[in-house]
Structure 1
Amino acid sequence: MSPTDTRIEHDLLGDREVPSAAYYGVHTLRAQENFPITGTPIGRYPELIRALAVIKAAAAEANHALGLLPEAKTRAIVAACDEIRAGALHDQFVVDVIQGGAGTSTNMNANEVIANRALELMGHARGDYRFLHPNEDVNMGQSTNDVYPSALRLAAYNGVMTLIEAMAVLQGAFEDKAAEFADVLKMGRTQLQDAVPMTLGQEFSTYATMLAEDEERLFEAAQLMREINLGATAIGTGINAHPDYAATVRARLAELSGIAVITAPNLIEATQDCGAFVQLSGVLKRVAVKLSKTCNDLRLLSSGPRAGFGEINLPAMQAGSSIMPGKVNPVIPEVVNQIAYEVIGNDLTITFAAEGGQLQLNAFEPVIAYSLFKSLAHLTQGCRTLAERCVVGITANRERLRESVAQSIGLATALNPYIGYRHASEVAVAAHESGKSVAQIVLERGLMSADKLAEVLRPEVLTAPRALAH
C-alpha cells in the first residue's frame, strides 16, 4: 500500500494507518479488527444508522443553542447527518453488530463518519481533526451510554411501526378469506377430534383477530421505546453536559425524528435498565407464537391432498420433492414457523443479556440490538410473505367439507337440547359403529321428525347461539 492510500490517525494505543478513502477512523479500524464475530456490520441496519445520525444532529443543534458549538461546525455536522439519514455512507458503518464495549465502537464509528464527512463539507481533508473532532465536537455532551441505547430505542420504535403495517396486511388477507368462506360449513376440532360445526369463515376470522390483538400490544410496547436517556452521559449523572442539554436535545430530537420522545425521569436508572427491550421482545415472542400456531393450522387443514385433512388448498409455490412427482409442500407456512422459532430464541438471548447488566451499565446491549433487529425484520418479512404468497391464494374444498360435516358424529352435540345427552350419546356411538350418519340414526330411531331435524341442522343454527323454545 503506497503512502497516498492511507492516512495516519492516533488514539491512546498509538498511530495507525487508516485507508484514505475511508470516512471512519482509527477507533472504528481497531473495532473492525477486534470483533470479527457475525460478519454483519451495523450498516446493514439502516434504521439504527439513521437513528444515530438524527441523534448526532439533534445534539449538535442543542449544543449550538446552548452556545457550546460554533455555527460552522454545527452546520457541517447537521449536513453530514442529513446525508446519512437520506441513505448515504451506510457502507462506512463497518463495525460488527456484536461487539464488546457496550456499543462504544458503534458510537465511535458514527462520530468518525460524521466528522470526516463534515470536514469535507467544510473544505478540509478527512482525518484533519484540528478543524472538527469526532469526540470533542460530534460527541459533545454525549456518551456511548446515552447515545447507543437511545439510538436502539428510536430504531426499534420505527421497526415496530413497520412490523405493525406488515401485520395489518396479513390481517386484511385473513379478513378477506373470512368473508369469502362465510358460507362454508365445516367441523371444528378439539384435541384433533371432531367437535361441533363452524364455518371456515369463522376459523379464518380468528386468525385476523389474533393479529389485531397483537398489533395493539406492539403499539403499547413501542411507547416504551420513546423514553430516552440522552443527557445521562456516562452513568446518568450528566457529567460534562450543560445543565439544559437534556431538555434541549430532547426537543430537537423529537422535531427531527418525528417521534414524541421523552426524557427518562431518572437517568441513572434509565442508563442501566433494559426492561423496555425485554418487554418489547416478549411481545414479539407473543406475535411469533400466534403466527406459528396459525401456520400449524394452515399446514394441517391443507394436508393431503387426499390422505390428510384436505379442507383447504394452499397455492402451489414450488415442487415439493426431488423424488416424489407431483408433491407440493406448504413451504410458506413452514418458513414462518422457522421465523417464529428464531424469535423465541432471540427473546431468550435478550432476557439473559438484560439480566447480565452490572451496576450502572449493561454491557450487553449490542446482542440485545442484534436479536431485536432480527426479530423485527424477520417477522415483518414473514407476515408479508405469508399474506402475499399464501393466504390470498387459499381456496376451500367445499364438497369435502360438506361431506365431512354430514358424516361427523360431532353433529350429535347439536341434538343435546332436543333429545337429551343420553340419547345423543347413543346416537353418536351407533353412527360411529355403523358408519351411518347421525341424521340417519336419529330418523331411524324416531327421535325427531325429518322437518325438525332439518331445522336443527341448518348451518346458521349450528354455528351460532340460539334461544331454545320450551
Structure 2
Amino acid sequence: MTANARRHELDPQVRIEQDLIGPKEVPADAYFGVQTVRAIENFSISGVPINHYPHLIRALAMVKMACARANFDVGKLSPEILAGIEKACEDLIEGKLHEHFVLDVLQGGAGTSTNMNANEVIANRALEHMGHTKGEYRFCDPHDHVNKSQSTNDVYPSALHLALLLGNTDLMGEFRLLINSFRAKADEFSDIVKMGRTQLQDAVPMTLGQEFLGWANSLEDELDALQFVEQVLYEVNLGGTAIGTGLNAPRGYAAKCVEHLAVISKKPIHLARNLVEATQDTQAFVLYSATLKSLAIKLSKICNDLRLLSSGPRTGINEINLPALQPGSTIMPGKVNPVMPEVVNMVCFRVIGNDLTVTMGAEAGQLQLNVMEPVIAACLLESQTLFMNAARSLRTFCIDGITANRDVCQRYIEQSVGVVTALNPLLGYEKATVLAAEAMRTGKGIVQLVREQQLLTEEQIQHVLDPSAMTGRSSHRE
C-alpha cells in the first residue's frame, strides 16, 4: 500500500486518482478529478472560472451527449453507460453541478483542461446515476467512455460554436427589448421639433422622435448582422478528433454526432466539408467577433449622443433629461452625471479590445491546430455577457426614464439660423447665406429678417419656414 493510499484511508475528505504525472489527491465530494485538480493549480490567471459562462458548460454537455449517442449507434458504448452519461449531461444542461467547473478561462493546452473538467464531472455524475460512487471509473471512465472517439481539438471548438449560438440568442433578446424602449420614446417624442446638428453645428429641424427612431433602426441593423453571422457558427468539426482525420473515430460516427447535436441543441448544426481545415481554422470566431465590434461602435455612438443631448443642465444642450441615478461628485453639490451611458461606453471599448485579442489569437494558429482558442473563448463569452448586462441596464436605468425638455427644443428652433436652409429653393443659396450672416450678426431670427425685408409673403413664410414641415412630417396647419 502506498503512502498516499494509506493517507486516503485515514482522510475520508479526499480520494486518490492517478494520471500520467502520478497520483493526486482529489476532494472526496468533488465531481471533477485529477486532471482538473492539476489544471486548477497550474492556471490561476484571470480569476474568472469557466462556470462564469453557463452556456459553455451547457454546450459541452450537449456535445458529450451527442458523442455518447453516436458511440452507442456504432456499437461502441453499452446502454447502461449511455444512460448514465445522458442523465449526467441533462443535469448540466439544466444548470446543475456548474460549481464543479472551476478552471480559469485562460489556460494553456488548447482547452484540454476544460474538456477534461467536463469529462470528469460527467463521468462521476454518471457513476452516481448508475449506482456507483465517485472515482469508480471502471464502470464509467472520463477518457474511455465520456471522451470516447473524441479529442479536445474537435470537442472544444464545437462546444464554443454552440455556446456562442446559445449566448447570441440571449444577446439578441436583450437588444430587442432595448430597441423597443427606443421605439417607445420615439413615439412619445414624435411631436417635439428640435434642431438637428451636423459637425456639432446647427443644421436643419427634425423631431426628437426621429432621433430616437434613428437609434432604434441603427441597432436593428446590428441585430440583423448578428442573426446572419450565426451561419458560420453552425458548421463544426465534431468527429475530426485530433487533427481532422478522424483517427480513433468509427466509420459513420462524425455524421451521427452532428445529427444528434442538432437535435439536442435545436440549432441547425452541420459538419464541416473538410475536417482537417475546420480543425485548424478559427475564422468563424473572427467573423462573429467583428459583428460584436460593429454593434459596440453603434451602441457607443448612441451613448455619446445621449450624453451630449443631456449635457448641462444650464450650460449644455439640455434637450433631454436622463434619470438621476446617484450623486455625481464628492466636491460639487447637486451634480448628477450620465453614469449609465458612460458605463455602456466602457463596455463597448472592452468589446472592441476583445475583438483585437480574437484577431491576434486567430492569427497565432500554427499547422493543424490553433492553441489560442481559450483566449478567443474568454473574449467572446465576456463580450456577450457584458453586452447583455449593458443592454438591460441601459434600458431599465436610462432609456425608459428619459424625459424631454420641450421648451429648450423650441427655443433652439426659434433662435437657430438652421431654418434658413429651407429658403434655398426660393431665394437661392447666396441670398440665404447673406440672411444667415445677418442673423448671426444681429441676433435676430431668420423669420424676423424675412418679414422685415419682405422677401416672402406671409403665406410663403408659414409654408416654407414651418419647422414641422421641414422635419418631413405634415404641418399642423395642413
Structure 1 residues 207-218: aligned runs within 5 Å: 207-218=215-226
The number of residues matched between the two structures is: 466
Alpha-carbon separation, structure 1, partners of 2:70 and 2:292: 35
Say if 2:319 and 2:405, in contact at 8 Å, map to a contact too: yes
Name the structure 2 match of 1:419: 427
Q: Note the C-alpha offset of 1:322.
A: 1.6
Which secondary structure state, in structure 2, belongs to the residue aligned with residue 96 of structure 1?
A: coil
Please, which of 111, 130, 146 is the counterpart of residue 154 of structure 2?
146
Alpha-carbon separation, structure 1, partners of 2:363 and 2:114: 22
Name the structure 2 match of 1:376: 384
Please, which of 155, 166, 185 is the counterpart of residue 158 of structure 1?
166
Query: Which letter does structure 1 place at the counterpart of 2:391?
Result: C
Runs ≥4 residues deviating over 3 A: none
Alpha-carbon separation, structure 2, partners of 1:43 and 1:398: 48
Please, which of 34, 38, 45 is the counterpart of residue 46 of structure 2?
38
Name the structure 2 match of 1:106: 114
Structure 1 residues 294-313: aligned runs within 5 Å: 294-313=302-321
Which secondary structure state, in structure 1, belongs to the residue aligned with residue 428 of structure 2?
A: helix
Scaled by the length of structure 1, the TM-score of the pair is: 0.98
Name the structure 2 match of 1:402: 410
| Identical-residue share of aligned pairs (%) | 54
Structure 1 residues 210-249: aligned runs within 5 Å: 210-249=218-257
Structure 1 residues 1-400: aligned runs within 5 Å: 2-400=10-408
Q: Note the C-alpha offset of 1:450.
A: 2.3
Aligned-residue Cα RMSD (Å) equals 1.2
Query: Which letter does structure 2 place at the counterpart of 1:270?
Result: A
Q: Note the C-alpha offset of 1:455.
A: 1.5
Which secondary structure state, in structure 1, belongs to the residue aligned with residue 302 of structure 2?
A: helix
Cα deviations by residue, 1:146-177 (Å, 9 ceiling, x for unpaired): 00000000000011111111111111111111
Q: Note the C-alpha offset of 1:464.
A: 2.2
Alpha-carbon separation, structure 2, partners of 1:359 and 1:399: 65
Q: Note the C-alpha offset of 1:9.
A: 0.8
Alpha-carbon separation, structure 2, partners of 1:424 and 1:217: 43
In terms of mean alpha carbon deviation, does 296-305 or 453-462 score higher?
Answer: 453-462
In terms of mean alpha carbon deviation, does 313-322 or 230-239 score higher?
Answer: 313-322
Alpha-carbon separation, structure 2, partners of 1:76 and 1:50: 17
Query: Which letter does structure 2 place at the counterpart of 1:148?
Result: Y
Scaled by the length of structure 2, the TM-score of the pair is: 0.96
Alpha-carbon separation, structure 2, partners of 1:184 and 1:418: 27
Alpha-carbon separation, structure 2, partners of 1:357 and 1:36: 24
Query: Which letter does structure 2 place at the counterpart of 1:209?
Result: N
Name the structure 1 match of 2:3: none
Q: Note the C-alpha offset of 1:465.
A: 9.2
Say if 2:205 and 2:468, in contact at 8 Å, map to a contact too: no
Q: Note the C-alpha offset of 1:451.
A: 2.5
Please, which of 417, 434, 447 is the counterpart of residue 442 of structure 2?
434
Alpha-carbon separation, structure 1, partners of 2:59 and 2:468: 54
Cα deviations by residue, 1:101-159 (Å, 9 ceiling, x for unpaired): 00000000000111111112222221121111100100011100000000000000011
Alpha-carbon separation, structure 2, partners of 1:126 and 1:179: 60
In structure 1, runs of 5+ residues without a counterpart are none
Query: Which letter does structure 1 place at the counterpart of 2:306?
Result: L
Name the structure 2 match of 1:454: 462
Say if 2:280 and 2:369, in contact at 8 Å, map to a contact too: yes
Q: Note the C-alpha offset of 1:73.
A: 0.6
Query: Which letter does structure 2 place at the counterpart of 1:438?
Result: I
Alpha-carbon separation, structure 1, partners of 2:54 and 2:469: 54
Cα deviations by residue, 1:256-279 (Å, 9 ceiling, x for unpaired): 111110000110111011001000
Q: Note the C-alpha offset of 1:318.
A: 1.2
Which secondary structure state, in structure 2, belongs to the residue aligned with residue 98 of structure 1?
A: coil
In terms of mean alpha carbon deviation, does 341-350 or 407-416 score higher?
Answer: 407-416
Alpha-carbon separation, structure 1, partners of 2:148 and 2:127: 16
In terms of mean alpha carbon deviation, does 443-452 or 407-416 score higher?
Answer: 443-452
Query: Which letter does structure 2 place at the counterpart of 1:395?
Result: T
Which secondary structure state, in structure 2, belongs to the residue aligned with residue 4 of structure 1?
A: coil
Which secondary structure state, in structure 2, belongs to the residue aligned with residue 148 of structure 1?
A: helix
Which secondary structure state, in structure 1, belongs to the residue aligned with residue 195 of structure 2?
A: strand
Alpha-carbon separation, structure 1, partners of 2:331 and 2:247: 68
Query: Which letter does structure 2 place at the counterpart of 1:376?
Result: Q
In terms of mean alpha carbon deviation, does 367-376 or 5-14 score higher?
Answer: 5-14
Q: Note the C-alpha offset of 1:460.
A: 3.7
Alpha-carbon separation, structure 1, partners of 2:50 and 2:322: 38
Query: Which letter does structure 1 place at the counterpart of 2:329?
Result: S
Alpha-carbon separation, structure 2, partners of 1:10 and 1:446: 97
Which secondary structure state, in structure 2, belongs to the residue aligned with residue 7 of structure 1?
A: strand
Query: Which letter does structure 1 place at the counterpart of 2:417?
Result: I
Query: Which letter does structure 2 place at the counterpart of 1:189?
Result: R
In terms of mean alpha carbon deviation, does 442-451 or 238-247 score higher?
Answer: 442-451
Say if 2:193 and 2:468, in contact at 8 Å, map to a contact too: no
Alpha-carbon separation, structure 1, partners of 2:379 and 2:338: 27
Q: Note the C-alpha offset of 1:459.
A: 3.1
